[in-house]
Amino acid sequence: MFRSVLAMLIALAAANARANLITNGSFETITPAVSTGTCSVYGTGSTNVTGWTVVGAGGTDVAACNTSFTQSGISFVAEDGSNWVDLTGLNSNNDTEGVQQTIATSIGKSYMLSFWVGNVDSPSTTFGVTSTVDVSVDGTSLGALTNSCTTCTTTLAWKEFSDSFTATTTSTTLTSLNGDPANDNSNGLDNVSLVANGSATVPEPSLLVPLGAGLLGLLGWRRLRSV
């Protein structure tokens, strides 16, 4: 029994250590809230989407869209939760616009970044046929990731991408920019996650105290029961 309880507690501690470090990764917290079936536009410098800053050249913007938003017969559903971000915005489409967040990291530790890119294949509208997100860590590109589904003609379809990096500073800035051409007005981003990789699966020192207390309590209960 002791071994099974120990394994369970360590597994719980490991899961906690690998918790998502991104604030508001699914863009659920926005001030003011995005109304059902609509999109809200945010210009460069905006922090209306909690945890995120809109970046880009002057005059550009991004949009947060509710999962019930529809246009031209297409349903623009979120990958996770109620909202997602359209990196092409509504009033502009420039490959310098996007969102950015700075996260506390540990030098030398590996991290795994994952996110979903949403696309519709709609050449007869202004929504284009592919969606590309340019991702960088502290200004170093992780690549241009493209969702090029061809069957997503009536509903926004999502594709997951992931990559790892090693932190070189105590704070790391993640940037996701629109990589679509100017005539493509739909580029979805949702469910962004960053977890500590590798050594992060070992319980942190702060977790060992409550774990130890719990184990001692279980051992004491077991001894009393055997008396």
Which CATH number goes with the domain that contains 150? 2.60.120.260
Give, in order, the Cα–Cα distances in Å from 23 to each of 26, 88, 107, 154: 9, 22, 20, 31
Give residue 198's pLDDT: 60
pLDDT given for residue 18 in this prediction? 72
**Segments in the chain below pLDDT 50:** 2, 5-16, 199-212, 214-227
pLDDT at residue 94 in the model: 74
Instruction: Specify if 9 maps to a domain.
Output: no
68 three-state secondary structure: coil
Provide the CA 109 distance to its chain's centre, in angstroms.
Answer: 19
Domain-located, residue 99: yes
In this prediction, residue 14 carries a pLDDT of 47
Within the chain, strands assigned E span 39-43, 53-55, 61-66, 70-71, 74-75, 83-86, 98-104, 110-119, 131-137, 140-147, 157-166, 171-178, 188-196
State residue 148's pLDDT score.
98
96 is a domain residue: yes
Show contacts of 167-171: CB within 8 Å, 24+ apart.
167/105, 167/106, 167/107, 167/108, 167/109, 167/110, 167/111, 168/107, 168/138, 169/105, 169/107, 169/138, 170/104, 170/105, 170/106, 170/107, 171/102, 171/103, 171/104, 171/105
> Does residue 210 lie within any of the structural domains?
no
Q: Is residue 3 part of a domain?
A: no
Q: Which domain holds residue 123?
A: 21-200
Question: Domain count of the chain?
Answer: 1
The confidence score (pLDDT) of residue 3 equals 53
Eight-class DSSP state of 36 = T
Residue 212 placed within a domain = no
10 within a domain of the structure (yes/no): no
Of 52, 43, 48, which Cα lies nearest the Cα of 23?
52
Structural domain includes residue 211: no
